[in-house]
Amino acid sequence: MKAMRRKNFIFLLLSLSALFLFAQPKLHAQDNGIQPLPRQFRDFSLGMNLDSLRESLTNDALFNFRGERDVSFLPVQQQSLVETGGSSFIRRAFFQLMDEGVFIMSFTLNTAIIDHFSVFTHFVQRYGEPTFLNPREAVWENGNTRISIERPLTVRYIDTDVFNDILNQAALNQGQQFQLRQEFLNDF
């Protein structure tokens, strides 16, 4: 009986020691250089207005912004899209705006110059392990920002507050459309 208690005590002690050793890096993530997720890339940030976006695109040598012909107004409520070519590291960039504020920024990178592994490794070193990972994308998320590295090599920033509002409104509209459809069918 005494030997059994001693084995259990040693097992418990070893388990707690292992737990402490493996949990310790997570407790000190800020000490390891892990940074909070940014809402900005260079001079571009989630929430910036269209005029500021145009100015930043004009002034940044990584982009071949052509002015008004790169700006489209979408048929969806108060949304617009800025699509522009890039030079060197960026092949193409997309900025989606809602109510005059950027809520999605997508940068398709030039894989002849930069590779997926380098971008992913840099993100892990800077922001920690991704929240979600599969062969198509790696996702980092905090309260109001989602950043993903996708295949083909695209880095996408999303303002999740605005994006979730759009999804909720779409679900509401779909529910209303279903109700109208049922009422129409009931007329027969």
Closest by CA position to 99, among listed 46, 58, 63: 46
The answer to whether position 27 is within a domain reads: no
The answer to whether position 76 is within a domain reads: yes
Looking at the 3D structure of the chain, how many domains does it have? 1
**Domain residues for 49?**
36-160
The answer to whether position 14 is within a domain reads: no
Per-residue pLDDT reduced to its tens digit, 21-76 = 333 333 334 456 789 999 999 999 999 999 999 999 999 999 999 888 788 877 66
Q: 27 is written with which tokens?
A: 């407790």
Q: 186 is written with which tokens?
A: 């009931």
Per-residue pLDDT reduced to its tens digit, 117-137 = 999 999 999 999 999 999 999
Alpha-carbon distance 24 to 104, whole Å?
Answer: 35
